[in-house]
A and B are shown apart, each in its own frame.
Chain A
Amino acid sequence: MDLLLEGFATALTPENLLYAVIGVLLGTAVGVLPGIGPAMTVALLLPVTYNVSPTSGLILFAGIYYGGMYGGSTTSILLNTPGESSSVVTALEGNKMAKAGRAAQALATAAIGSFVAGTIGTILLVALAPNIADVVVKLGAPSYFAIMVLSLFTVTAVLGSSKLRGLISLALGLAIGLVGTSTGQQRLTFGSPQLADGIDVVVVAVAIFAIGEALWVAAHLRRRPLDIIPVGRPWMSRDDWGRSWKPWLRGTAYGFPFGALPAGGAEVPTFLSYITERRLTKKPEEFGKGAIEGVAGPEAANNASAAGTLVPLLAIGLPTTATAAVILVAMQNYGLQPGPQFMDAEPKLVWGLLASLFVANTLLLVLNLPLAPVWAKLLQIRRPYLYAGILFFASLGAYSVNFQAFDLGLLLCLGLLGLAMRRFGLPVLPLIIGVILGPRLEEQLTTALAISQGDLSTLWSEPVAVVVYVVMALMIVGLVVTGFRRRNKGVTDRIDDNYQEVSM
């Protein structure tokens, strides 16, 4: 508790408060803007890690993460264009509400629900992360190795619709991670001195998230403008409050655990929240025509899962979403290695960051309720400027790593890879996780085998490692069984079906 109070002292200094405000505003803006998401924004802002202090930098990024989760709901509700898979469900009822003249109420329940879920989620994070870290700190290299393999496996095979494409993406990421020098020998450097230190993860993240996306959008510009529903200042009636608070809490209960698990992501909990609310509602006739419960629940689940993903990130150093992966890159740029020792080694930073999450949440509520009409105006930005700006800042970010034209060439090549991945439906997350975790995986394996002097059985010598492998085996069995039983009828497919309904 004292630690948290000290954290607030860190988070509430004028400088850090300013970074939190900037982060929240920027995050919401990019959540609203078409084609930019929080992962891309954090990737584009990685150059600030060269000079801004770690605490301020991470407060900025956390603000962007929370703000981006909220901003996505605005376009779902007003335009029926869910920018990320996690806000697909919000669009189902949210846009119907807006069309029925209740845009203000939909935005309000999304904003307040996000605040409630984010705050509860952050409390859980504060309560859980140190305890998990205490457990994890006792684990040896074999268990670490097992947990990393599990997280690579879940991100690759459990999330996403095509296992084959997930594995391809992961293998490409691991291959990129191989480039560099290992025990004094050049690996995959083709004799180039610029590659001897490996490919900077900043360049990979910027290329895949920003350049790849900008090129992909450039090839598929939506031409016909969408009809936007005008919005005043969001507010809710007593009845709306009465119908919203239970879905907020239930959504939080779905979102946080799913975010915290290595098989995280916000798609499944938002969808579960939606079907739960549809079953429990007293006004089932309103579902499909704009039921407020159908916005309140999934939006809460969405934000609670964002808080949940910070548990494995801070306590074990495992990213489970794209944004968490890029924040991990930022931490590594600072020379920080999140994980069990991280909380003890950097208490000021960690607790300052946790406290700033509470601050960011409150700021989101205070700023976004009155600012909703301003966010809607952002949608009028002309695309050529938007995407030219993304290319500009992406190049600046990659160039500022070493000031070498070589990095820009690398940026272009990896950007084209990112374009191809979007064309061929390869998920981006396994590649980034592969680049980040690949080298660490090799390191843990080396450590484990060095201690056991090459005896492979050490890999399953620790109870936690055994449990993890058993879980993984069960998941593989489960995947095979469900694969046989209902070929193409997984949860993700049902969400996709709903998405098609939405976009029609």
Chain B
Amino acid sequence: MSIVVAYSPDPYGRAALAHGAVQAEQRHEDVLVVNATRGDSLVDRRFADDADLARVRQGLDTLGLSASITHEVVDDVAAAVVATAERVQASLVVVGIRPRSPVGKMLLGSVAQRVILDAPCPVLAVKPDGASDEV
């Protein structure tokens, strides 16, 4: 069994990663980090660069966790996270949630919300706190 972490190089993604790592340690499961983008802008802050992902891998390795990372361009980020969870029959999906007004949700949609609704397994929705910088 493995735990899928929806990662982005910002406080929300790091919070998800930190909580995912803690869960994986407790349950003795693998971590699968997913970082995806729709690739519809020249620069996407939520698409990690290679150096950042190398740091993520190193952090997980130091914790002694078996980790794999997918880094890809997809049509729909939420669907990609859900599909990954289905493919590996994940026991848990971890997402970081960002504050957004109801109007903002209606207009922009929310990756976290769609993952929570569509995932085939329990979803842990976390917020950034002081502990999020540990990994």
Q: Which residues of A contact B (CB under 8 A)?
A: 34, 79, 81, 221-228, 376, 379-384
Report the bound CA distance from A227 to B37 in whole Å.
13
Q: Which of A227, A379, A383 contacts B40 (CB 8 A)?
A: A383
| A384, B40: Cβ atoms closer than 8 Å | yes
Residue among A225, A376, A379, A384 with the most chain B CB within 10 A? Answer: A225
Report the bound CA distance from A320 to B43 in whole Å.
33
23 residue pairs A–B, Cβ–Cβ below 8 Å: A34-B42, A79-B42, A222-B42, A223-B39, A223-B73, A224-B37, A224-B39, A224-B73, A225-B37, A225-B42, A225-B44, A225-B47, A225-B73, A226-B42, A226-B43, A227-B49, A228-B43, A379-B41, A379-B43, A380-B45, A382-B41, A383-B42, A384-B40
| A383, B41: Cβ atoms closer than 8 Å | yes
| A381, B73: Cβ atoms closer than 8 Å | no
CB-CB nearest in chain A for B45: A380
Q: If A223-B73, A225-B47, A227-B49 touch, does A380 touch B41 (CB 8 Å cutoff)?
A: yes
**How many Å from the CB of B23 to the closest CB on chain A?**
29
Q: Which of B12-70 contact A (CB under 8 A)?
A: 37, 39-45, 47, 49-50
**How many Å from the CB of A17 to the closest CB on chain B?**
32
**How many Å from the CB of B107 to the closest CB on chain A?**
13
Classify the secondary structure of B's interface with A: loop
**How many Å from the CB of B124 to the closest CB on chain A?**
27
Report the bound CA distance from A384 to B41 in whole Å.
8
**How many Å from the CB of A125 to the closest CB on chain B?**
34
**How many Å from the CB of B104 to the closest CB on chain A?**
15
**How many Å from the CB of B105 to the closest CB on chain A?**
17
List, in ascending order, chain A residues with CB within 8 A of B42's CB. Answer: 34, 79, 81, 222, 225-226, 379-380, 383
List, in ascending order, chain B residues with CB within 8 A of A223's CB. Answer: 39, 73
Residue among B40, B43, B45, B47 with the most chain A CB within 10 A? Answer: B43
CB-CB nearest in chain A for B44: A225
The interface size of chain B toward A, counting residues with CB under 8 Å, comes to 12
CB-CB nearest in chain A for B50: A227
CB-CB nearest in chain A for B51: A227
**How many Å from the CB of B56 to the closest CB on chain A?**
15
Report the bound CA distance from A376 to B45 in whole Å.
11
Classify the secondary structure of A's interface with B: loop
List, in ascending order, chain B residues with CB within 8 A of A225's CB. Answer: 37, 39, 41-44, 47, 73
List, in ascending order, chain A residues with CB within 8 A of B41's CB. Answer: 225, 379-383
Report the bound CA distance from A34 to B41 in whole Å.
9
| A382, B40: Cβ atoms closer than 8 Å | yes
Report the bound CA distance from A79 to B49 in whole Å.
13
Report the bound CA distance from A79 to B44 in whole Å.
12
| A380, B44: Cβ atoms closer than 8 Å | yes
List, in ascending order, chain B residues with CB within 8 A of A226's CB. Answer: 42-43
Residue among B37, B39, B40, B45 with the most chain A CB within 10 A? Answer: B40
Report the bound CA distance from A227 to B50 in whole Å.
9
Report the bound CA distance from A289 to B45 in whole Å.
26
Residue among B40, B41, B42, B73 with the most chain A CB within 10 A? Answer: B42
Report the bound CA distance from A227 to B45 in whole Å.
9
**How many Å from the CB of B94 to the closest CB on chain A?**
23
**How many Å from the CB of B29 to the closest CB on chain A?**
30
Report the bound CA distance from A58 to B45 in whole Å.
37
Report the bound CA distance from A223 to B43 in whole Å.
10
Report the bound CA distance from A376 to B41 in whole Å.
13
List, in ascending order, chain B residues with CB within 8 A of A382's CB. Answer: 40-41
Report the bound CA distance from A376 to B49 in whole Å.
16
CB-CB nearest in chain A for B49: A227
**How many Å from the CB of B48 to the closest CB on chain A?**
9
List, in ascending order, chain A residues with CB within 8 A of B49's CB. Answer: 227
**How many Å from the CB of A228 to the closest CB on chain B?**
5
**How many Å from the CB of B82 to the closest CB on chain A?**
21
Report the bound CA distance from A373 to B47 in whole Å.
19
**How many Å from the CB of B36 to the closest CB on chain A?**
11
Report the bound CA distance from A319 to B42 in whole Å.
32
**How many Å from the CB of A229 to the closest CB on chain B?**
10
List, in ascending order, chain B residues with CB within 8 A of A384's CB. Answer: 40
CB-CB nearest in chain B for A33: B42
List, in ascending order, chain B residues with CB within 8 A of A379's CB. Answer: 41-43
List, in ascending order, chain B residues with CB within 8 A of A227's CB. Answer: 49-50
List, in ascending order, chain A residues with CB within 8 A of B45's CB. Answer: 380
List, in ascending order, chain A residues with CB within 8 A of B44's CB. Answer: 225, 380
**How many Å from the CB of A290 to the closest CB on chain B?**
18
Pairs of residues from A and B, 4 with the lowest C-beta to C-beta distance, nearest first: A223-B39, A379-B43, A225-B44, A227-B49
| A380, B43: Cβ atoms closer than 8 Å | yes
CB-CB nearest in chain B for A376: B43
